[in-house]
Amino acid sequence: MSLVQRISYVIDLILDYFRSKIGGFIVEIGLIVLFMTSSVRALFVKPYRYNEMVRHMEFVGNQSIGIICLTGLFTGMALSLQIYLGFKMFNAVNMVGPVVALGISRELGPVLTGLIVAARAGGAMAARLGTMRVNEQIDALDVMGVNTKQYLIAPRIAAAVICMPLLTAVFDFVSMVGSYLLCVKLVQIDEAVFWQKIRDMIEIRHINEGLFKAAIFGLVFSVVCTYRGFNTTGGAKGVGDATNQGVVQSMVMIIILDYFASNLIRLFYLVMGMN
């Protein structure tokens, strides 16, 4: 085999590898979208699963409040400290409050809440459904004539989409409490100036922007994690793999989607003639 033939052979191998990977990726995305549409559609078909939805909201929302408050408080304080140290060099410490408020409400609030809840509730969703799959509990529901997507998936997705903006609002609020404690109580920025600057610069749409993103992140992590759990194969190892894949893919997608969502919102503001 000549050198050219060898190189050609290696290039073919590489191209085949990427073709199969990209093809597989596209097929996977298609399957996840189909899974999501059929599950969301099932939400609006009788019998409505209010009880299940409330049960999952309690798990996704209520049981996440503690960890959201803890991380929110320290995120607000850490961010405020770093911005304070930077702004102090330019004698602009009065701007710490609004910059932290903007950063938290638009970006860090929804993204960190998304990552924390995806890890906590998304992981639990994938593990629970995966265990139900390998223990034949999902098959049992199927043969009982229960629509498994309606009973197991749709309430989890609805709960995540509803709870994520609420948790993000809690995160935003607690972060600002942290920022207040650091700025006003620790580094002695004037309290009236701190609040006035925030009032001057923050509009309700900045907060809504973050809450909108949070709902999208809720949809993403709940769909990815339930899809992974629902399609688990291979016993205990399969459950572990499904949980791992669900959480990792959700986190990566939240971070990537955040960038695109931010740009889309910016574009929307431009079209609407807002800054």
Q: Which residues bind other proteins (CB under 8 A)?
A: 47, 135-137, 139-140, 142-147
Choice between 94 and 137, CB closer to other proteins: 137
- Looking at residue 156, its amino acid is R
CA 253 – CA 259 distance, rounded (Å): 10
Q: Give the nearest distance from C-beta 146 to other proteins in angstroms.
A: 6
Q: Give the nearest distance from C-beta 135 to other proteins in angstroms.
A: 6
CA 211 – CA 102 distance, rounded (Å): 13
Choice between 54 and 255, CB closer to other proteins: 54
Choice between 42 and 108, CB closer to other proteins: 42
For residue 5, the Cα-to-chain-centroid distance in whole angstroms is: 48
What are the structure tokens assigned to 143, written together? Answer: 């043969």
Choice between 143 and 192, CB closer to other proteins: 143
Q: Give the nearest distance from C-beta 41 to other proteins in angstroms.
A: 11
Choice between 133 and 228, CB closer to other proteins: 133
Alpha helices in the chain (DSSP H): 3-43, 50-60, 65-88, 96-103, 109-117, 123-134, 137-143, 148, 154-180, 191-201, 204-230, 235-271
Q: Give the nearest distance from C-beta 52 to other proteins in angstroms.
A: 12
8 A C-beta contact, residue 100 and residue 76: yes
Q: Give the nearest distance from C-beta 15 to other proteins in angstroms.
A: 23
| Cβ count within 10 A of residue 130 | 28
Choice between 4 and 144, CB closer to other proteins: 144
8 A C-beta contact, residue 113 and residue 171: yes
Q: Give the nearest distance from C-beta 233 to other proteins in angstroms.
A: 12
Nearest to 117 by CA among 56, 177, 55: 56
CA 202 – CA 101 distance, rounded (Å): 7
